[in-house]
């Protein structure tokens, strides 16, 4: 199970942010104005499990006629203005590096294929924070424990959809089986491209990418970097097996050298 977020119909209402905080009892993250358009939550963190980004661009949405509203040239010759809005969330990676590095088992894979933090057994080591290729996981300053989206694990167990998807008024956030969502998303991309939105693309739906595919993927209207997403995310622990093999080889070599030296010393004493 997972999320498909269609950013082309996101209206930036932030209902998902509010629903997430309310259902999961996530504390407020400060009531300060950032000066970044209407984006005052700025990014994901321990106290922000859903983040709606507002990206301002002087760029038309599609190749439309010059008299089209909002997307056409203005009277002074400047290009049209648009907002790209996107509700970001933990990607619930198939190959989740945070799971690999957690020493206590606080992070686990649920029966729905999602990744959840059990805060009651998190020891606050923080290993998962740099392990995440998306920079999603964060620690709370008051207790040091890691927190992130659980994809409303408690609601899924009762047959309910996550709070953010339930609250979304435009169905920008869609929840369901990943196979069905991916098929629906590809159809939506074709529809947009046929309508002239040639920059429409999917992000995170490919199971052959560096994290084995995301459990939360997106339809974007520009390059991933524009949304603050890595263009080619990689599981940060992908090299661990080979690293451990090298460590084992080095340890065996050192042990062999030490044994050889010890036997040599014993022989010398016997002489």
| DSSP secondary structure string for all residues of 93-145 | -SS-HHHHH-SSS-EEE-TTS-EEE-TTT-----THHHH-TT---EE-TTT--
**Model pTM?**
0.75
Question: 243 a known binding residue?
Answer: no
Q: Is 66 assigned a ligand-binding role in the annotation?
A: no
Is 125 annotated as contributing to ligand binding? Answer: yes
Question: What residues in the chain have per-residue pLDDT under 50?
Answer: 63-77, 243-244, 246
Q: What is the pLDDT of residue 28?
A: 82
Question: What is the model's pLDDT at position 260?
Answer: 75
- Consult the annotation and say whether 220 binds a ligand: no
Residue 134 annotated as part of some ligand binding site: no
pLDDT for position 66: 36
Contact 36, 107 (CB under 8 A): no
Q: Would the annotation count 41 as a binding residue?
A: no
Determine what percent of the chain is predicted with pLDDT higher than 70. 81
**Quick one: pLDDT at residue 162?**
94
**Would the annotation count 168 as a binding residue?**
yes
* Radius of gyration in angstroms for the set of CA atoms belonging to the chain, rounded to a whole number: 24
Predicted confidence at residue 78, as pLDDT, reads 53
Instruction: Give dist(CA 191, CA 55) in Å, integer.
Output: 23
Per-residue model confidence (pLDDT) at position 20? 94
């Amino acid at each position: 199970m997972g999320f498909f977020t269609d950013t082309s119909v996101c209206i930036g209402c932030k209902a998902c942010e509010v629903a997430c905080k309310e259902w999961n009892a996530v504390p407020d993250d400060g009531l300060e104005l950032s000066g970044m358009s209407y984006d005052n939550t700025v990014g994901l963190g321990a106290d922000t499990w859903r983040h709606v980004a507002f990206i301002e661009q002087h760029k038309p949405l599609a190749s439309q006629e010059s008299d089209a509203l909002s997307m056409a040239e203005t009277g002074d010759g400047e290009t049209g203005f648009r907002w790209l809005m996107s509700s970001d969330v933990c990607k619930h990676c198939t190959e989740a590096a945070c799971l690999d590095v957690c020493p206590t088992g606080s992070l686990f894979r649920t029966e729905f294929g999602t990744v959840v933090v059990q805060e009651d057994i998190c020891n606050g080591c923080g290993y998962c924070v740099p392990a995440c290729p998306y920079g999603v996981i964060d620690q709370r300053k008051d207790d040091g424990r890691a927190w992130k989206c659980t994809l409303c694990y408690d609601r899924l167990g009762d047959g309910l959809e996550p709070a953010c998807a339930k609250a979304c008024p435009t169905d920008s956030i869609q929840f369901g089986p990943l196979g069905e969502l991916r098929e629906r998303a590809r159809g939506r991309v074709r529809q947009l491209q046929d309508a002239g939105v040639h920059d429409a693309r999917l992000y995170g739906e490919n199971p052959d990418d560096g994290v084995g595919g995301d459990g939360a993927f997106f339809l974007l209207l520009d390059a991933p970097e524009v949304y603050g997403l890595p263009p080619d995310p990689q599981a940060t622990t992908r090299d661990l097996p080979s690293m451990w093999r090298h460590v084992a080889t080095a340890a065996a070599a050192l042990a062999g050298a030490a044994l050889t030296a010890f036997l040599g010393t014993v022989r010398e004493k016997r002489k």
